[in-house]
């Protein structure tokens, strides 16, 4: 009789362990979903337990939430991660330009509404490239919602702008049709490949990311969307003083982890965070603009250490 009881307990323990492991796997598996926000269907990736601290992951140009495909599993056991594609990017819809303003302010308002519909009342932000001025707007509008900021080559300082920005500043002052077409080279295949591979250790960046990005920018209507945003980027630079004032006034926990060889947003932009947030943590990895492609494990480790102390 005792042997039967013992056997039953062992079987129950095995079954319970199997169920627990299955639930854990289900909780950390990335799910691919859509949600209607105003007139736009937003695609997003989600993983982790919604009862745990939330990380909102905001992608860059010309990418999508696909850039977080390897980072999210690294953090899913401890955090709830949500990564939307912006309108005109990735799998999110691209409403007609005649009916939808492709400006950073409007994209930020859409993502703000997305967070509200998702019930994200408080969250840390991972911001990169285009995702930075979108995320910084959210922080200015709702400072009480922001628990921490991780900036990966997400600039808000003039000294963080690389040499290429001088030509763009001239374009912003005099935005002719001819210059608009010239700046379409920003999303040519060779340019996108360069964004991914410049400054990275040889052989560490696979082709999947940049070829997918190129596919997306070649979809009907996407090129003009990108042209609109290249011109509108001037509004982000104009807001730098307000972004900095937000940091100075609210002192959010801040981790800047930078691909040190990025020619677009150079290391001085990371170092400048300490001017407004003296306790900002600054780290560099030997990579380029898309540092997650080659150093997602190192960046995840820095994030886990940082977030475990501030959340």
Active site members: 289
* Pairing relationship of beta strands 123-127 and 146-151 according to DSSP bridges: parallel
Classify burial at 8, counting beta carbons within 10 Å of its beta carbon; exposed 0-12, middle 13-18, buried 19 or more: exposed
Burial of 195 (0-12, 13-18, 19+ CB in 10 A): buried
H helices of the chain, where?
2-28, 71-75, 104-117, 131-141, 165-173, 177-182, 189-197, 208-217, 222-238, 240-250, 267-271, 273-276, 292-310
Q: Which residues pair with 258 in a beta bridge?
A: 284
In contact, 16 and 8? CB cutoff 8 Å = no
d(CA 225, CA 215): 14
Instruction: Tell me the sheet residues that pair with 259.
Output: 285
Ramachandran quadrant class, 153 (left: phi over 0; alpha: psi -120 to 50; beta: rest): left
- The CA-to-CA distance between both ends of the chain, in Å, stands at 51
- Report how far residue 239's alpha carbon sits from residue 72's, in angstroms, rounded to the nearest whole number: 30
């Amino acid at each position: 009789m005792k042997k039967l009881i013992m056997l039953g307990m062992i079987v129950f323990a095995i079954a319970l362990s199997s169920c627990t492991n299955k639930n854990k796997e289900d909780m950390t598996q990335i799910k691919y979903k859509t949600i209607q926000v105003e007139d736009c269907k937003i695609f997003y990736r989600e993983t982790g337990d919604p009862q745990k601290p939330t990380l909102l992951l905001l992608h860059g140009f010309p990418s999508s939430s696909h850039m977080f495909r390897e980072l999210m599993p690294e953090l899913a056991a401890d955090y709830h991660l949500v990564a939307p594609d912006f309108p005109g990017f990735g799998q999110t819809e691209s409403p007609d330009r005649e009916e939808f303003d492709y400006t950073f302010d409007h994209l930020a308002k859409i993502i703000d509404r997305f967070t509200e519909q998702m019930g994200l009342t408080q969250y840390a932000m991972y911001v990169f490239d285009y995702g930075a001025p979108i995320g910084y707007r959210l922080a200015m509008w709702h400072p009480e919602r922001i628990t921490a900021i991780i900036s990966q080559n997400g600039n808000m300082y003039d000294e963080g702008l690389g040499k290429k920005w001088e030509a763009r500043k001239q374009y912003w002052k005099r935005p002719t049709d001819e210059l608009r077409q010239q700046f379409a080279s920003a999303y040519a295949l060779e340019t996108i490949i360069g964004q991914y591979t410049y400054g990275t250790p040889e052989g560490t960046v696979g082709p999947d990311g940049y070829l997918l990005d190129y596919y997306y920018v070649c979809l009907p209507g996407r090129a003009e969307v990108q042209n609109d945003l290249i011109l509108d980027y001037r509004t982000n630079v104009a807001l730098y003083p307000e972004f900095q004032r937000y940091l100075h006034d609210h002192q959010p926990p801040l981790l800047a982890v930078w691909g040190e060889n990025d020619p677009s947003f150079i290391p001085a932009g990371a170092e400048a965070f300490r001017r407004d947030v003296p306790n900002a943590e600054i780290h560099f990895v030997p990579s380029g603009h898309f540092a997650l492609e080659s150093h997602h494990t190192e960046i995840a480790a820095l994030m886990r250490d940082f977030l475990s102390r501030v959340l």
